Amino acid sequence: YLVYNSESWLARMEGHLYERGFKRYLQSDGTVAILDARVLLAPISILKKYKFDETLIFGGEGRELAQRLTKGGIKLLYSQKLLVKHVNRDTLKAVFHQKRIHGNGRGQFLLTQNKNVLEWIAYFSSEWYRHFISPFFLLLRFEIGLDNLIYTALTNTIFWGAAFEILLTRRTQRHI
């Protein structure tokens, strides 16, 4: 489980964002649909057989590896007992830079997916709701504060802007 090693405002905001996002991938049987390379614990034999795709950057390599592991019949287990202290970004500029890199990684990962138009529409509709609409409902239910809503909106805008930049640039380059 990824935890933040500071009580700074940025660390708290990022911690809330991570916890809300991660819950979506946690299955009732204790498995997860994704993995975070920052908190991966696996036998070396698995990592030798299922290597990280080094062409993908942060935000993409963990998702891609999780897909291959799952397809290979390997369960991705989650434990809240295993704690990893994450180094926090200490300025908004550093957080925004991290979100941009992670968004680039998501864009790279999405380029590896072979989806038809309807699947893409469903995917982006779900992501749009989760990242931009549902935080408003959390605010209305007093589950998050206004500062958390603003932080979420800003960081998600940077993340998805970077992802779309990769998607649109690479797709255009493929068609030239």
> How far is residue 20's CA from residue 41's CA, in Å, rounded to a whole number?
22
- For residue 31, which phi and psi values (nearest 5 degrees)? -95, 165
> How far is residue 40's CA from residue 157's CA, in Å, rounded to a whole number?
27
Reported as a pLDDT band with limits 50, 70 and 90, residue 97 is: very high
**pLDDT-wise least confident of 73-77, 113-117, 133-137, 169-173:** 169-173
Reported as a pLDDT band with limits 50, 70 and 90, residue 175 is: very low
> How far is residue 3's CA from residue 136's CA, in Å, rounded to a whole number?
24
Average pLDDT over residues 44-65: 83
Q: Which residue has the tokens 């993908």?
A: 56
Report the predicted TM-score, pTM, of the whole model to 2 decimal places. 0.80
